[in-house]
Structure 1
């Protein structure tokens, strides 16, 4: 059981280590890792943080990405990945598994399991994969209440608010929601399903000083950009959600270009 004997076991909180990774400069590169073995492979490839995707989790279980897995099922994977790798882990929290009290329960459970960060999105259940059409959104104030609940419940967890509003409400709607979520206590914003370089640039320009996460999903609407390209545009984090469980024939080309 080498993970119990390793001299480099983390001595600080996972949330603190994730925050330091984001704030140290450059862009945090967060490859998807859906289990402990994938986490070890990412660490061996010299990545310094990881991402646990809801789509990857459900795909590995043979079920659709509709927000139907439970907090405890996710916590099992968080413990596995954090224990195996020791790396700060961002976790997909879907819609928070309910309303504000459920979000608070999720935050405490994920922290205890070893997560460093979580993102919560403003879709309604049953939610959809972020790059599909006809997503149903929560009212902005309802989502802001979830963000506030998450910020109140956390000890060290880094809170990222995801907005899926760009597809239905345009950049104006997505920016307005993002500003409200930051006021509610989010540490960063994840604008989902932006599909052109111009959209990424405009969103960043209208959210100055706010840490932003870019989703370089392997199977979505976003054209392929490198991490360096996202950094130049103004993003502080980038995820490749499903690289660890995607078949080589579906990747089309390298998904984790640096």
Structure 2
């Protein structure tokens, strides 16, 4: 069982990693991240137990989490703090009453990650997506439809930001991920690792519903508004999801779900 302790002083050094969450989320946590909520905690413990550092819990949640505590290593402390103390530590009202500090995984090179995937694989390549809600939604879809990996370009936001993890329902903690370096060539990377690049665009002439995917398929998604760059589009197979008359496009997270659903069942 883990180490249980009660915290009554918000300035207790043992809970320093949980202090002033919003401010510290903005400046970075030096290889650590915050996960929030019971559902996310359960996903974290299930999928990445070795990266759990410590927990801060409202005692009212204890009974519901006894099975989670039982699975924790002995060296992981579980701090209990009443709501007022919890809010003072976090710096805002924490109505979910459950926080965890986690250790980020070591970075993986994108070419190594892609090269090591099976002969039949689907990956998402995200370009310039800086909205944490969209990143979280995409990771949730990636997990739900069995995507093998997510590749982020240098302009994407951090999928291990607290809000992104929460929106992903913890999927951001488990889907294999790599980040491209600034200026790294996406098209060359995919070609060299045997992936066909599918660029999603409202202006594409090819319709997703009629697409027969290659054994190794990479779905390229750009930020809402600017979309994918002309260079990336020119070196990929462009595919679209037709809209009703007068409507332009879907939210990028919604698009990822539709595309992954099609690719999953097109393989059957």
TM-score norm. by structure 2 comes to 0.27
Q: Which has the larger radius of gyration?
A: 2
**More helix by percentage:** 1
**More strand by percentage:** 2
